[in-house]
Amino acid sequence: MTENYYRHIISVLPKYDLEDYPPELFMRFAEHGALLRRDWPWCRELSEEMFLSWVLCPRVNNEELSDCRELFYKELAPRVKDLSLTEAILEANRWCAENVTYRSTDIRTASALSVYESGCGRCGEESMFAVNALRSIGVAARQVYAPWWSHCDDNHAWVEAYDGNSWRFLGACEPEPRPDLGWFLPAAGRAMLCHAKCFVGDNEDWERLLPGEDLREVDLREGVAYISVTQRYAKVRPFTVHITDAAGNSLTGAIVEYYVLNEGLLRKIAERTTDSGGKAVMSLGLGSLWVTARQGNMSAEFLVNTAETGTVELSLPQRDSVPASFDFLPPEGSSVKPLALSEPERLKRQKALNRAKELYDSHHPGGGSVPKKPRLWPWERFPAGEVPELWQDGSAHDTSGPVGKLTLCRGQGKGAVGLMRWKEGWWAVTMPPGTEAELPAGKYRLITSVRLPSGAQLGRLTDFTLAPDEPTELAVSFRKASPNDLLQKLPLPDPGFSFRGPALLCWIDPGAEPTEHLLNELKAFGEFPCPIHFICRQPKAAFGPGITPHPWEEYAAETMARRLFQEPGHLPLAVLADKEGCARFVSAGYNVGLIELAAELCGLIK
């Protein structure tokens, strides 16, 4: 059995793993897998394919591999051996929270062992660590990624674990009293794509390693099966891209790439290859999408809103120019909402969080440290132009060939600025405004975007060709939003008190600098056009006329921030609510002129 497991492992892992790691490491994974299959009932009950793909496999994503499973098993096995499978999943995540917390780090993904030893990692590292912890006790688990959000400039990763009947989701290192809870659920409901990765290698019968998956939602690239699970979190529709040549003939084998606008850059979220009918089909969220297609030296691109149409046809080569100004719209959201926590569940959740913090502080008195990262960046590890997709970061790192000089001047306005280079797809180039650089000659695109509170973006692009030894100068410019553009409509969760809209609800921290700026603005403004409610930890009646104080309720404050797509604790949190109980404008952190703007918007919603 162990030998068979070893052979399976080396057959599905990327070939680079077999060069970078000793065979003994893979044999230890095989031995541990055999132990789990023999001794743990919930692992024995898995189909062979589920076990091979989601328990035995050493790799979760593009992390550095480490011999971690036996260590995690020794920590977890005594805690979960007498629990049901569902309770074991929850208990394993509590253990994860006791040992690892979130900290932003660079894009190189540390090993699970390094994350454990350091005590922190970004969400991609936390979820990779949690998946390894679950697999160490025989639980089928996988990482789910939203490669890039469409409604905000970020992305996220979390965990799915199989409870014997279905996949259940959880936030890595974020203990909850039951599965299918997570702060990210409203955000995932606005995703264009969420996917999981399964390593299948060059196996001709790779489909058998994905029992229960809809193969129409799976794409195989470089030995990795990308499984779309978007429909579990968001509203989706089948979206078809039909590629033809200039004569209208369908093109087989054309590469279709799908991008969203994030941080002023076209960020790739998926790739497909057209079938014999010239079509690429996949389910996607309902929002704007930038689609490119290429075959040989021919290419074309198109901006489409999948909420409005399920089909787009592109002819190679490109006939029409792309718009210089465009609106990029995120999905509106999903009807998938978890049941609210009962009072006993709230108490259980808070108890678990308090215990996790106490134990974490005892393990890492200094608050943890940045985990030890792989020594080389991916573009240093692989030859230029040969970085496997698994380790690509969406940036252009190949600097070979003739160069041209680009000067990027600062402009008026505020927003995101991104520079892209075309080389078999769009690749990001790091170059902030106010700088100049020598870059490889070729086709480039300058993009600016203004993010609205609704998550929509006002985009502008400039295409240009950078010629060898020929200076090019560009100035950054942004589109301007109107007051109506700043309004949105998001249902409010229970704030913990009653109010009548329109009203301005503010979660504040008096004495802290950001809140004091808001209070000073409010004092200087005079009479505000609607009632104001202040929520703080030490409410007082002396805030002034027209202001009603309320005590702080942690769960309500966190839920409010998450549902409105803001970071909890980023104060002041100001919410302009209408009479229907919907948030029409949201601001987190202090922004100059916030009170004046909120007053102006109040006049628009009355």
Q: Is the pLDDT of residue 432 over 60?
A: yes
* C-alpha span between 303 and 323 (Å, rounded): 9
* C-alpha span between 177 and 341 (Å, rounded): 9
pLDDT of residue 105: 86
Average pLDDT over residues 281-305: 96
pLDDT of residue 549: 92
User: Per-residue DSSP letters for 170-193?
Assistant: E-TT---SSSSB-TTHHHHTT-S-
Q: Is the pLDDT of residue 214 over 80?
A: yes
Q: Which of 2-16, 83-97, 398-412 has the lowest mean pLDDT?
A: 398-412
Residue 123 φ/ψ region, left for φ over 0, alpha for ψ in the -120 to 50 degree band, beta for the rest:
alpha
Burial class (CB in 10 A: 0-12, 13-18, 19+), 366: exposed
Q: Which of 127-141, 328-342, 440-454, 461-475 has the lowest mean pLDDT?
A: 328-342
pLDDT band at 506 (very low <50, low <70, confident <90, very high): very high
pLDDT of residue 562: 87
Residue 183 in tokens: 């702060």
Q: CB neighbours of 491 closer than 8 A, spacing ≥ 6?
A: 563, 581, 582, 583
Helix (H) or strand (E) holding 135: helix 123-136
* C-alpha span between 441 and 407 (Å, rounded): 14
pLDDT of residue 54: 98
Domains 234-328 and 488-605 in one fold: no
Segments making up each domain of the chain, as ranges: 2-228+339-363, 234-328, 383-483, 488-605
Report the share of the chain in percent with pLDDT over 70: 99
pLDDT of residue 335: 64
Helix (H) or strand (E) holding 279: strand 279-285
Burial 307-344 (b: 16+ CB within 10 A, else e): beeeebbbbbeeeeeeeeebebbbbbbbeeeeeebeee
Residue 497 in tokens: 């008190």
Query: Is domain 488-605 classified as CATH 3.40.50.300?
Result: no
Q: Is the pLDDT of residue 338 over 80?
A: no
Are the C-beta atoms of 557 and 581 separated by less than 8 Å?
no
Q: Within 13 A of 72's CA, how many CA atoms are on the CB side?
A: 32
CA distance readout (Å), 172 to 137, 365, 564: 16, 21, 21
Q: Which of 279-283, 393-397, 541-545, 589-593 has the lowest mean pLDDT?
A: 541-545
Cα angle 554, 556, 557 (rounded to 5 degrees) comes to 65
Nearest of 568, 571, 578 to residue 594 by alpha carbon: 571
* C-alpha span between 298 and 253 (Å, rounded): 13
pLDDT of residue 540: 67
Give the distance from CA 441 to its chain's centroid: 32
Which position has the token pair 């440290």? 369
Average pLDDT over residues 352-376: 88
Reported pTM: 0.91
pLDDT band at 231 (very low <50, low <70, confident <90, very high): very high
Report the share of the chain in percent with pLDDT over 90: 77
Average pLDDT over residues 113-139: 96
* C-alpha span between 531 and 502 (Å, rounded): 7
CB atoms within 10 A of CB 535: 24
Q: Is the pLDDT of residue 339 over 90?
A: no
Residue 542 φ/ψ region, left for φ over 0, alpha for ψ in the -120 to 50 degree band, beta for the rest:
alpha
* C-alpha span between 117 and 140 (Å, rounded): 24
* Average pLDDT over all residues of the chain: 93
User: Per-residue DSSP letters for 230-245?
Assistant: GGGTS-EEEEEEEEEE
**391-424, pLDDT tens digit by residue?**
998 998 888 889 999 999 988 888 999 999 999 9
Are the C-beta atoms of 102 and 120 separated by less than 8 Å?
yes
Sign of the dihedral through C-alpha 424, 426, 430, 432: positive
CATH number of 234-328: 2.60.40.1120
Which position has the token pair 């689609």? 291
**What single letter denotes the amino acid at residue 128?**
M
Residue 479 in tokens: 């589109």
Residue 223 in tokens: 């030995």
pLDDT of residue 541: 57
Average pLDDT over residues 54-81: 97
**186-213, pLDDT tens digit by residue?**
899 999 999 999 999 998 899 999 999 9
Average pLDDT over residues 11-33: 96
Average pLDDT over residues 459-464: 96
pLDDT of residue 334: 76
Helix (H, G, I), strand (E, B) or coil at 130: helix
CA distance readout (Å), 564 to 185, 484, 536, 547, 582: 12, 18, 19, 23, 10
What is the chain's alpha carbon radius of gyration, rounded to the nearest angstrom? Answer: 26
Cα-Cα-Cα-Cα torsion 550, 571, 173, 188, nearest 10 degrees, comes to: 100
Residue 52: DSSP 8-state: I
Q: Is the pLDDT of residue 183 over 80?
A: yes
Average pLDDT over residues 468-481: 92
pLDDT of residue 279: 97
**How far does the chain reach from its first CA to its final CA, in angstroms?**
71
Q: CB neighbours of 287 closer than 8 A, spacing ≥ 6?
A: 150, 190, 192, 260, 305, 306, 307, 329, 330, 331, 332
Domain 383-483: CATH architecture, name and number where available: Sandwich (2.60)
Average pLDDT over residues 472-491: 92
Q: Is the pLDDT of residue 455 over 60?
A: yes
